[in-house]
C-alpha cells in the first residue's frame, strides 16, 4: 500500500489522521476504525469520534461516488449514460448531503472542527453534482442557492448569465485548494493541513 500526498500536514490535522491510519494499517493488523478512534481520542477528544463514526463512513462513501461522478463527465461513451441514471445518482447524493446538513444543524455546533470540515465538503459536493447535471443537461429541480455560493476548498462558482441549466452558474475546479481569507475558519483548516506553507 502506497500513499502519496503533495504536502505534509501539521500534527493533529485531519489529513495527519488519514496518513497515520494508512501507515499504521500497512504494518499492523489493527482495523482502520480502531486506529482512527485512537487518533481522534489523542487529538480531538471533544469530537466524539465513536459517535460520529457513522457520519465519517457516509462522508467517505459520498466522496467515492463524487469521484466516480467526476470521471463520468470525461467518459468517452458518456452518451450511453441515460438521463434517468444521472438523476438517480444525483438525487441519491443530494439526499445524503441533506441528511448530513440536518445532522450538523441538530448538532448545534458542538463539534466545531467537524462541522467546519463538513460544511466545506458539502459545498464542494453540491457543486460537483451541479457540474455533473450541467454536463449531461439533466434537470432535477435542484439549483445552487445561498450558502452554496460561499467559498470552499476545491471549487469556485462563476455566475452564469444565461438561462436554463447550462446557462446557470459555472463550476470551476481548482488545481490547488482555496486558502480562504486570512484567519477565517477555512484558512485555519488550510494551514493546519499544510506543514510547509
Residue 161 has pLDDT above 70, yes or no: no
Same domain, 34 and 67: no
Tell me whether residue 48 is in a domain.
Answer: no
- Confidence class of residue 188 from pLDDT cuts 50, 70 and 90? confident
Same domain, 12 and 108: no
Percent of the chain with pLDDT strictly greater than 70: 91
Same domain, 84 and 162: yes
Same domain, 159 and 179: yes
Same domain, 160 and 71: yes
Same domain, 74 and 165: yes
Same domain, 33 and 58: no
DSSP secondary structure of the chain: -----SSPPPTTSHHHHHHHHHHHHHHS---HHHHHHHHHHHH-GGG-HHHHHHHHHHHHHHHHHHHHHHHHHT-TTGGGS-HHHHHHHHHHHHHHHHHHHHHHHHHTTTTHHHHHHHHHHHHHHHHHHHHHHHHHT---S----GGGGS--SSEEEE---SSHHHHSPEEEE-SS----STTSHHHHHHHHT-S--
Q: Identify the residue with better confidence: 57 or 75.
A: 57
Per-residue pLDDT at 102:
94
Same domain, 100 and 150: yes
- Confidence class of residue 195 from pLDDT cuts 50, 70 and 90? low
**Would you say 98 and 90 are in contact if contact means Cβ atoms under 8 Å apart?**
no
The number of domains in the chain is 2
Same domain, 18 and 115: no
Full domain range(s) for residue 28: 1-43
Which region among 103-112, 132-141, 161-170 has the lowest average model confidence (pLDDT)? Answer: 161-170
What pLDDT, in 10s, does the model give residues 14-47? 788 888 888 888 888 888 888 988 988 998 888 8
Same domain, 39 and 80: no
Same domain, 1 and 58: no
Same domain, 79 and 151: yes
pTM: 0.83
Amino acid at each position: 500500500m502506497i500513499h502519496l500526498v503533495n504536502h505534509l500536514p501539521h500534527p493533529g490535522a485531519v489529513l495527519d489522521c488519514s496518513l497515520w491510519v494508512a501507515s499504521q494499517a500497512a504494518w499492523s493488523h489493527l482495523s482502520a476504525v480502531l486506529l482512527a478512534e485512537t487518533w481522534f481520542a489523542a487529538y480531538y477528544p471533544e469530537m466524539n469520534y465513536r459517535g460520529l463514526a457513522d457520519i465519517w463512513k457516509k462522508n467517505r462513501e459520498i466522496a467515492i461516488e463524487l469521484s466516480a461522478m467526476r470521471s463520468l463527465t470525461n467518459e468517452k461513451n458518456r452518451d450511453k449514460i441515460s438521463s434517468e441514471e444521472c438523476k438517480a445518482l444525483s438525487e441519491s447524493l443530494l439526499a445524503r448531503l441533506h441528511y448530513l446538513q440536518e445532522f450538523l444543524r441538530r448538532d448545534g455546533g458542538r463539534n466545531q472542527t467537524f462541522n467546519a470540515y463538513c460544511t466545506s465538503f458539502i459545498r464542494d459536493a453540491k457543486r460537483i453534482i451541479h457540474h455533473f447535471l450541467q454536463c449531461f443537461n439533466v434537470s432535477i429541480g435542484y439549483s445552487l442557492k445561498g450558502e452554496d455560493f460561499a467559498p470552499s476548498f476545491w471549487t469556485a462558482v462563476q455566475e452564469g448569465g444565461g438561462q436554463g441549466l447550462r446557462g446557470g452558474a459555472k463550476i470551476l475546479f481548482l488545481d490547488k485548494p482555496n486558502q480562504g481569507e486570512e484567519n477565517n475558519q477555512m484558512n485555519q483548516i488550510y494551514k493546519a493541513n499544510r506543514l510547509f506553507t
